[in-house]
Amino acid sequence: MSNDTQALTTASLAFGEEELPLAHVDCYLCGSSDGAVLLEDPPFTVKKCSSCGLGYVTPRIPESHLHLIYQTEYFKSQSASDFGYSDYTQDKLGYLRTFGKKARIVQQYLQRGRVLEVGSAAGFFLHSMQELGFEVEGVEVSEYVSDFARSEFGLTNIFTGLLKDAPLIQQSFDAVAMWDVIEHLSDPLEELKRIHGLMKPDGYLFLQTQDIEAFFARLLGRKWQHFKQLEHIHHFSPATIRVLLDRAGFEIVDITHRAGGKYISIDFFVERMKRYSILLHHLLRPAKLIGRVFFYLNPRDEMIVVARPKG
């Protein structure tokens, strides 16, 4: 159950034309307030629970307002090293290659069927699955990127809004995918329970999220690129994601870091280097003249989890 019901702070956060409230929270998995401070980024603090090991942000935007940050500004961010993407749809070729690899992961478990993607963004994964012969549906809170998916790929089966409001049929999907979504959710257990109800008893869940215990995460410390406090409000590990999925009624089939990489552009890479070294960022800026060239990068700090409903 979400702990965003705790009293709101008197603080708020200016976001575009919105003034968003903030809520102090304790550990989502165990309720403890004790934990090591990994990062102070006022008004946010990133903590690692001393009881269960979950990483989390407090205070944070409550669930009632969270969807407001995932609109056009998120996918065309002016500061992508800290929030969102510089131009998500412009990187179409890289994302198609990335999600083509993820589609082939799904194909290792299923040859045909109905696939739902929660957080379908611009439709790159759904398009890849459709190309392999699957029936696809999506749920996406951003009108900007869901409109792109419809116009670019003809993906008419995308619901713009929250999963709880989507008109979906229970036990009708052979697979559900959540790529880099669960770390954004205020109440991931409730969302996973909804997903469980939508899946066929022999279906598969595929999700990807960061691994706070990965070597690269520990090496970079406070400079880790996944510390983006406005959006990444939970930081899981293999141990904590197992606990979460077990509570939602799933059993783990596989956890791997091998396929968690992405095809990124030179421009994306140079932009993200701001987090590590301003000097190196400026030295690399001429590389942008190469154009939108993509390369595969996998620092193995993200995990792909395959799970099934418990028998």
Architecture of the domain delimited by 69-209+237-309: 3-Layer(aba) Sandwich (3.40)
Residue with tokens 């702070």: 9
- Helices 143-153 & 124-131 angle (0-180, nearest 10): 30
- DSSP H helices, the chain, are 63-66, 72-75, 92-107, 124-131, 143-153, 188-198, 215-220, 238-247, 266-272, 278-284
pLDDT tens-digit map of 49-61: 999 999 999 999 9
Write the CA distances from 188 to 18, 165, 175, 308, integer angstroms: 25, 16, 18, 17
Q: Is 246's pLDDT higher than 50?
A: yes
Please state the rounded mean pLDDT for residues 228-240: 96
User: Percent of the chain having pLDDT more than 70?
Assistant: 90
In angstroms, the CA 142 to CA 121 distance is 7
Q: Is 121's pLDDT higher than 70?
A: yes
Q: 160: helix, coil or strand?
A: strand
Exposed, middle or buried: residue 268 (CB in 10 Å: 0-12, 13-18, 19+)?
buried
- Predicted pLDDT of residue 67: 83
Q: What are phi and psi of 272, to 5 degrees?
A: -70, -20
Q: If phi over 0 gives left and psi between -120 and 50 gives alpha, with beta otherwise, what is residue 180?
A: left
pLDDT tens-digit map of 21-41: 999 999 999 999 999 999 999
- Predicted pLDDT of residue 128: 98
Element (H, E) at 22: strand 18-23
DSSP 133: T
In angstroms, the CA 177 to CA 187 distance is 17
In angstroms, the CA 178 to CA 137 distance is 12
In angstroms, the CA 165 to CA 167 distance is 6
Q: Pull the structure tokens for residue 49.
A: 């629970």
In angstroms, the CA 33 to CA 51 distance is 9
Average pLDDT, the chain: 90
| CA nearest neighbour of 236 among 207, 212, 256 | 212
List the chain domain ranges: 69-209+237-309
Please state the rounded mean pLDDT for residues 172-199: 98
- The CA angle 206-211-216, to the nearest 5 degrees, is 135
Instruction: Please report which confidence band the pLDDT of residue 5 belongs to, taking 50, 70 and 90 as the band edges.
Output: very low
pTM of the model: 0.91
Q: Is 279's pLDDT higher than 90?
A: no
Residue with tokens 């001429």: 286
Q: 277: helix, coil or strand?
A: coil
